[in-house]
Amino acid sequence: MHAPNQAELLTLLSTGLAIVGPDGRVQWLNPALGEVLDVGPRTAVGQELTALMREPGLASQLTRTLSERRAFNLRGITFGVARGREVTADLTMQPIDEDRILVEVHALAPDLTPGGTPLSATLRGFAHEVKNPLAGLRGAAQLLERRVVEEDLRQLASMVIGEADRLAALADGLLRHRGAARIGPVNVHELLERLEGLVGAEADAPRLRHDYDPSLPDSLGDTDRLLQVLLNLTRNAGEAGAETITLRTRVEHGARLGERTVRAALRVDVVDDGRGVPDELRDSLFQPLVSGRPDGTGLGLALSREIALEHGGDLRYTSRPGETVFSLYLPMERPHD
């Protein structure tokens, strides 16, 4: 029995490995990565890595690895593979000579709730539970709209119907494993006006102020999902004791979103003067089922960040007592398909 050589040892490793050339094409791939990508190692050779791992920012990252002659680590990247599956993994890319890159792929286990239940199942269960109450709420609002005479009450009933429909659509999206976002032009200031109408109709709502950049062009996104993000942020601010919320819009040039830098990003800040984020929640604030309130579900911020990420953007925050800023970032160019 002969001692295995270096090539055989690499083939036996459980870590997914690939060697990629300067054109982004696979020159070698071990069986462990072939299993992750659902492709045979021989079939993979000669194919572009971005065709096997459907992640738009990967090609530019490979180029940077060679041009800058240094390693890059990508944490928690979700990419598509064969048969419509998605994989979440940590990636390491490092140059091994002038024109070859070693790519390591460490697949991660699916997200779990603290109790060990898959997160997607928890969210779908939550969506299923809210659909019937939403239908009853919508029906009651329709009856009110038909029976009341006062125009302001009719408008409020119409608003309730619209919100019930929007939440039902979001629940349907979760039940379909989120479904595809309905991407279209979004005028952020019209979206914020809609937000103001909803927040202003709530009892004891904080005072809203504006700090808008009027020169902002339309962005791209799913209006209903983005509205849900902003509603979550403003309601959280109210529950944290905020008396005033400032809605601020800006363009941020050279914004870093995940592992890529975009030329320009739309930034929507929700600034409040409430108590701030508790110290014990700062590192886990965006995790599902984490809440600072005894009656909180812990889903609002987790879903909000997920919506930001599916738009190619991000959701970040800074906080101290008296000033908390949640910033929604959206790229101002359409991501490459």
Find out whether 278 and 317 touch, Cβ atoms under 8 Å: no
> How much is the pLDDT for 16?
85
User: What integer is the mean pLDDT of 105-129?
Assistant: 59
Please tell me whether residue 322 adopts helix, strand or coil conformation.
Answer: coil
In angstroms, the CA 115 to CA 119 distance is: 10
Confidence of residue 11 (pLDDT cuts 50, 70, 90): low
CA 91 to chain centroid, in Å, comes to 19
Residue 227: pLDDT band by 50, 70, 90 thresholds? very high
Closest listed residue to residue 322, CA positions, set 286, 281, 271, 284: 271
pLDDT of 35 higher than 70: yes
Quick: pLDDT tens for 135-186: 888 888 999 888 988 998 888 989 899 888 878 776 765 555 444 567 788 8
Contact 324, 271 (CB under 8 A): yes
Residues 6+ apart with CB under 8 A from 19: 26, 27, 28, 29, 96, 100, 101, 102, 103
How confident is residue 210, by pLDDT bands cut at 50, 70 and 90? Answer: very high
d(CA 293, CA 275): 13
- Say which residues have a Cβ less than 8 Å from residue 128's Cβ, sequence separation at least 6: 171, 175
Cα–Cα distance measured from residue 285 to residue 2, given in angstroms and rounded to the nearest whole number: 53
pLDDT tier for residue 79 given thresholds of 50, 70 and 90: confident
DSSP 115: T
- Cα–Cα distance between 215 and 235 in angstroms, integer? 28
- Stated as kind and residue range, the H or E segment containing 153 is helix 151-175
Record the pTM.
0.53
Phi/psi for 289 (5° steps) reads 70, 20
Q: Is 332 helix (H, G, I), strand (E, B) or coil?
A: coil
pLDDT at 84: 66
Q: For the chain, what is the mean pLDDT?
A: 80
Can you list the positions of beta strands (E) in 71-227? 72-80, 86-97, 100-107, 184-186, 207-211, 219-221
Q: Which of 242, 260, 262 is nearest to 252 (CA)?
A: 262
The burial of 170, by beta-carbon neighbours within 10 Å (0-12 exposed, 13-18 middle, 19 or more buried), is given as buried
Laid out side by side, the sheet with 72-80 consists of: 26-29, 16-20, 100-107, 86-97, 72-80
Nearest by Cα to 277 from 289, 294, 293, 288: 293
255's tokens? 């914004």
Higher-pLDDT residue of 38, 114? 38
